[in-house]
Amino acid sequence: MKILVIYYSRSGNTQKIGEKIASELGCDIEKIEDTQDRSGIIGFLRSAYQAIRGKDTTLKPYNKNPQDYDLVIIGTPIWASRPSIPISTYLKENKGKFKDVAFFCTYRGTGLKDTIEAMKEITGKEPTATLDVTDSEIKKGAYDHKIESFIKNVKKGG
């Protein structure tokens, strides 16, 4: 099974989880990058405002085509109980190109259900597996067991 991990990460948490998943699976990985500067407090506020309004962004060019993969594992931080703007933009741009999907989210602890629902709605796909990791689990490094069971589900789903 050919698998791609794609993720966006503003401050490194989603990147950490995405890299761990890709290294466990030995699969391709691509970071989605935004043309907008989202750093600092201004970037935070702008991102929250845009997420609430359901805005899109302009992404930097990315290389991998999801159509070339049996499964695309999509990772996002949760922004205002929604997928981050770069990931919702990516999903819209690639709608119809996904065979199977799995989702993972990083977050402080609120808005998971709405985020997963939004990702299902945009892709039109039911995920074969989902994973969520909180900021405090990431800080403590207490997420290996979650990644293990996510990977089991990914393999079962395929």
| Interacting residues toward ligand FMN by CB under 6 A | 9-15, 44, 47-48, 51, 77-81, 106-111, 135
84/123 with CB nearer ligand FMN:
84
Minimum CB separation of residue 38 from ligand FMN in Å reads: 7
Minimum CB separation of residue 49 from ligand FMN in Å reads: 8
Q: Reduced to 3 states, what is the DSSP secondary structure of residue 59?
A: strand
- Rounded Cα distance between 69 and 91, Å, is 15
106/123 with CB nearer ligand FMN:
106
Residue 52: count other Cβ atoms within 10 Å of its Cβ. 12
Minimum CB separation of residue 4 from ligand FMN in Å reads: 18
69/104 with CB nearer ligand FMN:
104
In sequence order, the 6+-apart residues with CB closer than 8 A to the CB of 78 are: 84, 105, 106, 107, 108, 110, 111, 112, 115
